[in-house]
Amino acid sequence: MSIESLKEKLPPFAKDVRLNLSALATDDSLPPQRKYGLFVACGLATRNPTVAQALEAEAKAHLSPQALDAARAAASIMAMNNVYYRFVHLASNKEYGTMPARLRMNVIGNPGVDKIDFELWSLAVSAINGCGMCIDSHEKVLREAGVSAAEIHTAVRFAAVIQSTAVALEAAGFAPLMAAE
């Protein structure tokens, strides 16, 4: 499966999603490892197997095995951190913010790829998962490392389009049920 086959699965009501997905496929504003790592990490973050498999298949030719695993790790570790830190941030009881997380996150310090790439993937996954505290943290690290606002914006745009692809595919699965009512 590839991005092309994923686009073919999108229903007519998702024309904009299809066009945006095409734009991602041809976007060369990011270095290849950053771009294809975003495909993998964000695809996994959608929790949609069709999207995740298609984007990983597309990325495999452009990523080393280490980069592929690092993108998977970004999605995995952010799945944990985004739940935890979103809770800490949103809970009315601020005492939780004074407690140690006691969560292992060694991969963040040693992801096996350029730290900037991993941070960008983590930021995009955090945007999908809706964790403001994690978004702020990763954006700060990226900006301090000299990453431009435009590149950060591009990563979040990738996340938005990939998430919308998953939602459109899921909505298409409901279309026959809605038509029968």
* pLDDT tens for each residue of 7-28: 999 999 999 999 999 999 999 9
> Distance of CA 150 to CAs 11, 130, 143, 153, 159, Å?
31, 20, 11, 5, 14
Just list the catalytic residues: 131, 134
Which residues fall within 8 angstroms of residue 159, CB to CB, at 6 or more apart?
A: 38, 42, 45, 124, 125, 127, 128
Our count of domains for the chain comes to: 1
User: How many other C-beta atoms can be found within 10 angstroms of the C-beta atom of residue 139?
Assistant: 20
Domain hosting 29: range is: 3-180
Its pTM stands at 0.92
- Token pair belonging to 69: 């695993």
* pLDDT tens for each residue of 116-147: 999 999 999 999 999 999 999 999 999 999 99
Question: What's 52's domain CATH number?
Answer: 1.20.1290.10
